[in-house]
Amino acid sequence: MTSALTGQVHIVTGSGRGIGLAIAHAMAEAGAAVVINDVDADVAEAAADRIRAAGGRAAVAVAAIGETEAADHCIRVALDQFGRMDGLVANAGVLRDAILWKVTDDDFDSVLRTHLRGAFTCGRAAARYFREAEQGGTVTLVSSVAGQRGNVGQTAYSAAKAGVAALARTWSMELSRAGVSVNAIVPTAVTRMVATIPGLGEVVEAAERGEPIPHRLRHELGLGTPQDVAPLAVFLASEAGRQITGQCIGIGGDRLSLWSHPQEIALCHQEGGWNADSIAEAWAHTMSMHRQKVGIDQKT
């Protein structure tokens, strides 16, 4: 798929480092022009320079993702520099991990502003452009296993990433008539965010030193590098990938997965409605056997 995105223009938010940087590089290698976004101008310029040095096309949009102005700025850069936009990857994020009773208002708001409000403002700006341009396009959001399963110490992050998955499902319906596919990537990769998970800090440090990720982690937990995640973003932006919409797709290490959407898995009826005693009986005899597990498998 080395030429899968030739002639396309894609914005990748939070692409100065980590997964966003890997996605931007992969898209450039596939022929797309990319807009690199980061809050740090030096980091963004360095990322763009690396793409240009490899023969790709890149522009820089320095902005703290979250507010409407930042989203509009990213699109203006794409139009000013390359004349069009074909896709958005809403990847920007921050972490402020803490156990529930230690989460501050400011930290909670910061995480929700970047991950969830950022996905919203960028997605809305992209939708407005695509509807006016009448050319179709792609919106790829970045969710998380924590948003699907929950994770200790990640109140804000889990809430934001669950919201991102919900946005993908809703937008896939709202933008279908405009020819825009919307999906969420659920990545697992050794990044600065993963380093905060108990037991994985040493794995991240080893990977940063260039050491290979243990096979069991790559194969069973799907824990790989940011470069392992990037091909999914390229595929979703390709002609074949545009036929897929409304899905949450996991990737990492050696694993590719499709996440289920929330749905009823057990159902009881009680003529005339329910009271506490009848609910207790239904739970004991029917519902309890369908209880769902929570949390991320962190065995290393």
Contact predicate 121/113, CB 8 Å: no
Per-residue pLDDT, averaged over 26-45, amounts to 98
Mean pLDDT of 176-188: 97
What residue ranges define each of the domains in the chain, with the CATH number in brackets? 9-258 (3.40.50.720)
Q: Closest by alpha carbon to 119, among 139, 102, 97? A: 139
pLDDT at 33: 98
pTM of the prediction? 0.92
Active site annotation includes 129: no
pLDDT of residue 300 exceeding 60, the answer is no
pLDDT one-digit tens code per residue, 207-245: 777 788 888 888 887 888 999 999 999 999 999 999 999
- pLDDT reported for residue 199: 65
The residue annotated as part of the active site, out of 157, 161, 166, 171, is 157
Tell me how far apart the alpha carbons of residues 249 and 245 are, in angstroms, rounded to a whole number: 10
At 197, is the pLDDT very low, low, confident or very high (cuts 50, 70, 90)?
Answer: low
**CA 208 to CA 254: how far, in whole Å?**
19
Beta-carbon count within 10 A of 211 CB = 10
Q: What is the pLDDT of residue 204?
A: 73
